[in-house]
Structure formats: C-alpha cells, structure tokens
Amino acid sequence: MLTVNHLCVSYGPVAAVKDISLTVDQGRIVSLIGANGAGKSSIIRAISRLISSQGEILLGDTPIQGLPPEKLCSLGLATVPEGRHVFSQLTVEENLLLGAHASQKGRENLSQGLADIYTRFPRLKERKNQLAGTMSGGEQQMLALGRALISKPNTLLLDEPSMGLAPMLVSELFDTLLSLKKEGLAILLVEQNASKSLAISDYVYLLENGSCIMSGKPQIFDHNKAIKTAYLGA
C-alpha cells in the first residue's frame, strides 16, 4: 500500500505540487489526471525519489522519503517513468536482467522471472537479443513495463505508459494493467488517455496547477460536464 501525505514539490521558486495526499491499496488502480504541467510527473518522480520533496511517503508502514531510489525496488516499488528510458545499448534480455537484479525477489528466480515476462509479452521473447535502442517505440514501452515487473513489485508507478502506442497496443496495455490489479498490485497511473484510464480506475485525482481540485470514484467524473469537456475530450 502506498500512502502520500501532504506532498509538496518545488523547482526553485516554482511550486509544482502543492499539498497532495493520496493512497493506493493493493489490488487497486488510482489515476492522476490533469492538463500538461499540472504536476503529475512531479508526483511520480517524488515518490520514486528522483527529486526531493516535502511531506510523507509510505510504502506499507515504511517511510521512504529519506531513502535513495535504488533501495525502493527491494521494498516492492517499481516505476515506468515518463519517456522510455530503456538502456538502448543493451539487449532486451539484458535490460530485463537489470530490472530483476534491482530486488531480492527478482534475483531469487531469474529464469522463472524471465519466462513470466516472455509469456506476458511474447514480442520481447522474439526480440530478446535485439538492442533495446533499435526496438520500436511501442516495443520499448513494453520493455520498460517488463523491466519494472520482473523485480516482482507490489506497487507500480506508471507515467503515461500508453504514450506512442498504436490503439490496439493501448487496449492490450490496459488489459495488462487490469490483470496486474487482479494479481493484487497497487498501481498509480498517470495517463493522457483520461477516459481509458478512468474506465479501469478505482479512484481518480484531478490536478490543476499542482493542486487536487477534485477526487473520487471515476463515475463522479462522468456526471460532471465541465470536467468532461476540459479533460475527457467529450
């Protein structure tokens, strides 16, 4: 379970995240939606400790705001960051092995871990010896998700995982997220495709200029005309 209390992020004088609190229970998908620059990625980067922040961040009962990013994997947190960020000069399999080595659970059973990822993403198996940088955009996105999952996380942060994916792959991705939810993962999702992310989310936070202006079950967004027009493209 991920708990964030009173999170604030500033870049110099710019306050990008202002007093955000949220929780994500196991087996739940929680979405952050909002316009460009609303602070969604800053929240993801603060939780994954890539930028400093104020406030409290807990994984289960463990406060993590003082920990370096490399410790988080062993506590069960994995992130698919904005952009692809695979190691382009390494092969697909080498990228996956790096992901596995990031946590004790991932290291324990490397070959089974690889087999599980290859079952979930057959394309990665076909391309396991290809340099990651030569994979297509969508394939690299898949690899970034595979590299996160092979560490056997209990909590997954995803920053725009459908970016650049063809519509069919977007549907597959959302099916994958639903099955991960059923497997009990806690998932915090940032998506441009707000209507699709609402459809699979248990709870949604709408951000504007770093603040949460509305939160609740996805259904409440359906009934709000202004929100629908501004954020859901209706």
Task: Give every CB contact of residue 139 below 8 A, 6+ residues apart in sequence.
Answer: 123, 124, 127
**By CB under 6 A, residue 206 contacts ligand ATP:** no
Q: Which is nearer to Mg ion, 82 or 116 (CB)?
A: 82
Residue 16: name its binding partner from Mg ion, ligand ATP, none (Cβ under 5 to 8 Å by kind): ligand ATP
Identify whether the C-beta of residue 39 lies closer than 8 Å to the C-beta of residue 7: no
Binding mask 17-56 for ligand ATP (x = CB under 6 A): -----------------x-xxxxxxx--------------
Residues 29 and 157: their CA atoms lie apart, in Å, by 10
Residue 119: name its binding partner from Mg ion, ligand ATP, none (Cβ under 5 to 8 Å by kind): none
Residues 24 and 8: their CA atoms lie apart, in Å, by 18
Secondary structure of residue 31 in the 3-state scheme: strand
Q: Which is nearer to ligand ATP, 16 or 149 (CB)?
A: 16
**By CB under 6 A, residue 162 contacts ligand ATP:** no
Residue 37: name its binding partner from ligand ATP, Mg ion, none (Cβ under 5 to 8 Å by kind): ligand ATP
Residues 65 and 161: their CA atoms lie apart, in Å, by 24
- Residue 12 CB, shortest distance to ligand ATP, in Å, is 7
Interacting residues toward ligand ATP by CB under 6 A = 11, 14, 16, 34, 36-42
